[in-house]
Amino acid sequence: MSLAPAGRFAPSPSADLHIGNLRTAVLAWLFARSTGRRFLLRVEDLDDRTFSEIGTRQIEDLAAIGLTWDEPPQWQTTHRARYDAVIERLQAEHLLYECYCSRRDIAQAPQAPHAPEGAYPGTCRDLTEPERATRRAETGRPPALRLRTDTFVGTVTDLVHGTYTGIVDDFVVRRGDGVPAYNLAVVVDDAESGVDQVVRGDDLLPSSPRQAYLARLLDYPETIYAHVPLVLNEDGARLAKRDGAVTLAEIGVERALEQICRSLGWPALDPDGMLRRFDPAGLPRHPWVYRPG
Ligand code: GLU
């Protein structure tokens, strides 16, 4: 099945969108529309379905600032069957192994030779079946599933950062609680909906080599990335809801659009006006410091 190419915005519904998230959403929309792509929304609610109220509000806020999308927003909790199918496929190809490590175990384990710092040390990679049985009994909690990768690093091309090389370790594809891991869900969903352009905050740049590796393994088409700078508060820390006056309910649509435009060096415009001016090459490369008021 070949779908028309698309871009997307994929918020986690853990809190209302703040001005920085709204700006990233606007940029994702601009990147997609300016390249003739469809634009999709996906609520990444795998962590907790009781957040659906927040997810609904996120969608309403995106509509309120004038963004448009081409299909009803998707919710990851409705996609369990597709994630499970991919996990089964990887399992059938002997590409997954059980991992019994806690965060602490990982932090305390000696680093594997050749592995970059921050990579999973490989503790559970080569256990024998009796060793696995012992570990299962010892830990008393269900294991996570990790992908057996054949490299330590990978490189992606990013429209903002140029080429970026980062860790590709044996990352988790299904968590110990049985929930598909973010890195798996995002790759599967993007491919299933024809997304070939990923625009998101640059806090996620380090996960992109892992995601690109998995996509290649699954024979998915290549993704174009654009990781845009995050928004900071006046103290230089990542903007958060506790900074106050950061959500659309607090700022108001007009002021929020004005602020987003200002951050991009434009006079106040609506999304269609922004689209006429948008030039990815002119995108500020540094974080934007948000000053309320
Ligand atoms: N759900 C992630 C977040 O809100 C973004 C995932 C993505 O864009 O790949 O941080």
Reduced 3-state DSSP string for the chain: CCCCCEEEECCCCCCCCEHHHHHHHHHHHHHHHHCCCEEEEEECCCCCHHHHHHHHHHHHHHHHCCCCCCCCCEEHHHHHHHHHHHHHHHHHCCCEEEECCCHHHHHHCCCCCCCCCCCCCCCCCCCCHHHHHHHHHHHCCCCEEEECCCCCEEEEEECCCEEEEEECCCCEEECCCCCECHHHHHHHHHHHCCEEEEEEEHHHHHHHHHHHHHHHHCCCCCCEEEEECCEECCCCCECCHHHCCCEHHHHCHHHHHHHHHHHCCCCCCCHHHHHHHCCHHHCCCCCEECCCC
What tokens appear for 122 in the block? 């490989």
Express each pLDDT in 16-35 by its tens digit.
999 999 999 999 999 999 99
pLDDT at 50: 64
Q: Is the CB of 40 under 6 A from ligand 1?
A: no
Mutate to test the pocket of ligand 1, among 22, 41, 44 (most ligand atoms within 8 A of CB): 44
pLDDT tens-place values along the chain, 293 residues long: 578 999 999 999 999 999 999 999 999 999 999 999 999 999 999 987 666 899 999 999 999 999 999 999 999 999 999 999 999 999 999 999 999 999 999 989 988 778 888 899 999 999 999 999 999 999 989 999 999 999 999 999 999 999 999 999 999 999 999 999 999 999 999 999 999 999 999 999 999 999 999 999 999 999 999 999 989 999 999 998 788 889 999 999 999 999 999 999 999 999 999 999 999 988 988 899 998 76
Q: Which atom of ligand 1 is nearest to the CA of 21?
A: 4
Mutate to test the pocket of ligand 1, among 17, 29, 200, 227 (most ligand atoms within 8 A of CB): 200
What's the rounded Cα separation, in Å, for the pair 176 and 89?
19
- Residue type, position 229, single letter: P
Task: Tell me the pTM.
Answer: 0.95
Mutate to test the pocket of ligand 1, among 186, 187, 195, 228 (most ligand atoms within 8 A of CB): 186
What tokens appear for 76 in the block? 């990851």
Q: Which atom of ligand 1 is nearest to the CA of 199?
A: 8
Dihedral over Cα of 160, 193, 44, 32: its sign = positive
Q: Is the CB of 153 under 6 A from ligand 1?
A: no
Q: Is the CB of 200 under 6 A from ligand 1?
A: yes
Q: Which atom of ligand 1 is nearest to the CA of 8?
A: 8
Express each pLDDT in 80-94 by its tens digit.
999 999 999 999 999
Give me ligand 1 centre to Cα 48, in Å: 15
Q: Is the CB of 44 under 6 A from ligand 1?
A: yes
Q: Which atom of ligand 1 is nearest to the CA of 186?
A: 9
- Report the Cα–Cα distance between both ends of the chain, in Å, rounded: 49
Mutate to test the pocket of ligand 1, among 8, 9, 12, 61 (most ligand atoms within 8 A of CB): 12
Give me ligand 1 centre to Cα 207, in Å: 11
Q: Is the CB of 15 under 6 A from ligand 1?
A: no
Q: Is the CB of 186 under 6 A from ligand 1?
A: yes
Please count the CA atoms within 13 angstroms of the CA of 232 that sit on its side-chain side.
Answer: 10
Q: Is the CB of 230 under 6 A from ligand 1?
A: no
